[in-house]
Structure 1
Amino acid sequence: MRQGAVGTVRLVERDGRRLVEKRLSDPARHDTEVRALRALADSGLPVPQVVEERAGVILMTELPGGRLDEGDADTRLAALRASAVLLRRLHDLVAPEDLPPAPDDAAIIARYRAADGPALPLALPPSAGVVFCHGDWTDGNVLAADGRITGVVDWEAAHAGDPVRELSRAAWGAARKDPRSADALIEGYGADPVAVRAWFPIHAAELWLWFAEAGPPEYFAQLTAELRAWPG
């Protein structure tokens, strides 16, 4: 069983077939994941197929491969670059009308300032439009095998949002493990690095607020120290 921030995931067997059972305590996140996966069923993207769904439980197909964060640094870097191509394909899709809206970045900035977080150059970049977004495109949610991306999982944060913001969130988060990761994702996607990096302070503020509210304290202290050293 894998314990996540918002639910639990385990492998189960049904009629001799290995499936993934995901339990989400938040009904809204449950509904979002089901809607996103059903909307992507014929997209050609490597996503799980919903086999059965009931209150709090989603049963879906198991995808091959291992998480990118389980590989060595250079393998992870190459896979991140490859995953950016799939992220762009996702962003070429029109978001289903029943997906939630994007995060309220103006509210994130206001909350961060009210919480007296470390000084950051916070400003809302211009919009790049509204597309189908995964919501948490990280190396823990992308699967690969033999240098090929085999799956994208955990769609409970899917929403209709800004494509550059989503790419930027993925790039900033991945770069905290390996600074080369940001360029790999940006180049793989084919985006303007300046536009992508303009979102970095907002992602930093959003993560700081998360740790401030949910902990653990050592992560919060580490991130606070990182943000205090933000380049001027």
Structure 2
Amino acid sequence: MGGVSGELKDELTKRLSSVLDGSWTLRRIERLTGGASRETWAITAVSATGDTRELILRRDPPGREDARRIAMEAASFDEAARIGVPVPDVIDRSGDEPHPGIGAYLVMSKVPGEALPQKLLRDENLAEVRAALPYELGRILARIHRMDIEAVPNLPEHDPLTSLFDEYLTNGNPVPTLEAAFAWLLRNRPPATGKAFVHGDFRNGNLLVDAEGVRGVLDWELAHVGDPMEDLGWLCTRTWRFGSPHPVGGFGSRDDLFRGYADESGESPDPEVLHWWEVYGSLRWAVICRMQAAAAATGGDNTLELLAIGRRVAECEHDLLDLLDVPPHDETETPPATPQFLGAPPVEELLGAVREFVLEVGAGADAKTRYRSRVAAHVLGIAAREALFAPAVRETYRVRLAGLGYRSEAELALGVRAGRDHLDDLQVAEVIRGLAANRLKVANPKYR
């Protein structure tokens, strides 16, 4: 149990002994990798009579507790179970205030199944269930949208586009692609299809799946009142396909998703409305990436991961420009051969060697260190590619931006916001697509 404070272990032991009845001890408590905004811990609890329970602890990082949101999430699990959505049982939860020694938290039963997207999409043992998932997910979403809003305290309600723009403004500089996406969403916004409970993060990665199907829907921390089509659009956002060509979480077709939703709810989703929500979903993920990068300033043991997530905005730009039918840009800049004024070998070669060393050291470490070493290696790869391409890109786009009458990309973004420039202007579109393409070449050249 290295890395676990004595206070956390002691307080959890007391709470579990209280809610499970009898005397329980913790044989194992281990923090799991992943999760940029909330900690997840695996717990094995053993009773005095020899019974064993496998549990999951979810809690806010110390110093960033939000007890009201945790309470909302716990109540969402309760209501979801009532309506027939597969979810873990909530065993214990904090109250209106963080619990001394544990914080704002909930403890759930451990549900069988696989959540790692790469395994879900590639494991041959799950091939049969994969084909059936879009239909099943449609039915599950229809049930979620029947959940009783009044049964869940502190459930937020807001205008999705307005609140997203407000978050965008407070996290980072203006970006032309994102400005163009906001403008398109505002011009093409469809009427609301309804007012319902929205999961808010229903996607591949937050689903536990085994050969029998979906065993658990996880991570309800972003639940809110809104348009039910938001959940369907988020599920179909390209980010959550993890390289698969299939639009519904990488599993299958929208037609099967729509059929499942209609069979459960009696209402057939409109493909054009769903397209609007897919554009919104890609833009929302871009804003979340910016928020995560900004959160790194507060420190903590996941700072490196948060900073790395910030560079994923480039993937969102690529997706948004595809969704908005902007032609692809194949002419990413080729770095010229330049004298090594600052010494040889060049910096990209040095960073590449450090990257290999970090991966080698991490390979023999514990799971948490292995995960961090992979994140560190990814960041070193970004730094090496930026060192290689930045000078040529900087000069090329200084000239191209000047041709549009701007001194910087931020000025172009504000021109798009003001309505002076549009993606239907070929020259503007080429500059915006070119900037995004070069950022993606640095951040994640394998992304498609």
TM > 0.5 fold call: yes
Counterpart in 2 of 1:6? Answer: 37
Which residue of structure 1 aligns with residue 284 of structure 2? Answer: 206
Deviation at 1:41, TM superposition (A): 3.6
Residue 131, structure 1, aligned to residue 204, structure 2: no
Rounded to whole Å, the distance in 2 between the matches of 1:68 and 1:87 is 20
In 1, the alpha carbon distance for the partners of 2:44 and 2:241 equals 37
Q: Distance in 2 between matches of 1:33 and 1:12?
A: 20
1:222 has 2:315 as partner? yes
CA distance in 2, matches of 1:103, 1:156: 18
More strand by share: 1
The CA distance in 2 between the partners of 1:226 and 1:122, in whole Å, is 15
- When residues 180 and 188 of structure 1 are mapped into structure 2, their CA distance, relative to the original with a 3 A threshold, is farther
> C-alpha displacement at 1:140, in angstroms?
0.8
Distance 1:204 1:117 in 2: 15
Which of 58, 81, 91 is the aligned partner of 1:22?
58
Evaluate the alpha carbon distance shift between residue 231 and residue 147 of structure 1 in structure 2; reply closer, same or farther with a 3 A threshold: farther
**SS class of match (1:60):** strand
1:86 corresponds to: 140
Provide the rounded CA distance (Å) in 2 between the counterparts of 1:222 and 1:90. Answer: 29
Residue correspondences, number: 232
Once residues 112 and 76 of structure 1 are traced to their aligned partners in structure 2, the CA distance between those partners, rounded to angstroms, is 35
Letter in 1 for 2:325: P
User: Residue 86 of structure 2 aligns with which residue?
Assistant: 46
- Rate the CA distance shift 1:146–1:7 in 2: closer, same or farther, 3 A: same
Rate the CA distance shift 1:39–1:188 in 2: closer, same or farther, 3 A. Answer: closer
Deviation at 1:213, TM superposition (A): 3.5
2:121 alignment counterpart: 72
* Equivalent position amino acid for 2:73 in 1: E
Correspondence for 2:226:
161
Is the 2:44–2:55 Cα contact (8 Å) retained in structure 1? yes
Q: 1:175 to 1:117 in 2, by over 3 A?
A: farther
Cα shift readout 1:149-184 (whole Å, capped 9, x = no counterpart): 111111111112111122111112435643422425
Match for residue 106 of structure 2 among 58, 61, 81: 58
More deviation, 1-10/23-32: 23-32
Residue 122 of structure 1 is matched in structure 2 by 185
How far off is 1:220 after superposition? Answer: 2.1
Larger Rg: 2
Which amino acid in the other structure matches residue 152 of structure 1?
Answer: V
Give distance in 2, aligned partners of 1:221 and 1:129.
Answer: 32
Counterpart CA distance in 2 for 1:193 and 1:151 is: 27
Alpha-carbon distance change, 8 to 103 in structure 1, aligned in 2, over 3 angstroms: farther
Contact 2:91 2:108 in 1 (8 A): yes
Given that residues 109 and 205 in structure 1 are in contact (C-alpha distance below 8 angstroms), is that contact kept between their aligned partners in structure 2?
no
Using the TM superposition, give the Cα deviation of residue 136 of structure 1 relative to its aligned residue in structure 2, in angstroms: 0.3
Q: State the match for 1:189 in structure 2.
A: 261
Q: Residue 233 of structure 2 contacts residue 277 of structure 2 at CA under 8 Å; is this kept in 1? A: yes
8 A Cα contact 1:77 1:181, kept in partner: no
Match of 2:211 in 1: 146
Residues of 1 paired with 2:107 and 2:208: CA distance? Answer: 18
Q: How high is the sequence identity, in percent, across the aligned residues?
A: 25
SS of the equivalent of 2:311 reads helix
SS at match of 1:93: coil
Are residues 107 and 78 of structure 1, via their aligned partners in 2, closer, same or farther at CA, if it must alter by over 3 Å? same
Displacement after TM superposition at 1:101 (Å): 1.4
CA distance in 2, matches of 1:29, 1:13: 26
Structure number with the bigger relative contact order (C-alpha 8 A, sep ≥ 6) is 1
**Between structures 1 and 2, the one with greater helix share:** 2
Residues 165 and 84 of structure 1: CA distance in aligned 2, closer, same or farther (over 3 Å): same
User: Distance between the aligned counterparts of 1:107 and 1:133, measured in 2?
Assistant: 16
Deviation of 1:38 (Å): 2.4
Instruction: Tell me which moved more, 74-83 or 195-204.
Output: 74-83
What is the aligned counterpart of 2:246 among 180, 200, 213?
A: 180
Residue 160 (structure 2) pairs with residue 104 (structure 1): yes
What letter matches 1:231 in structure 2? D
Contact 1:101 / 1:159 at 8 angstroms: preserved in 2? yes
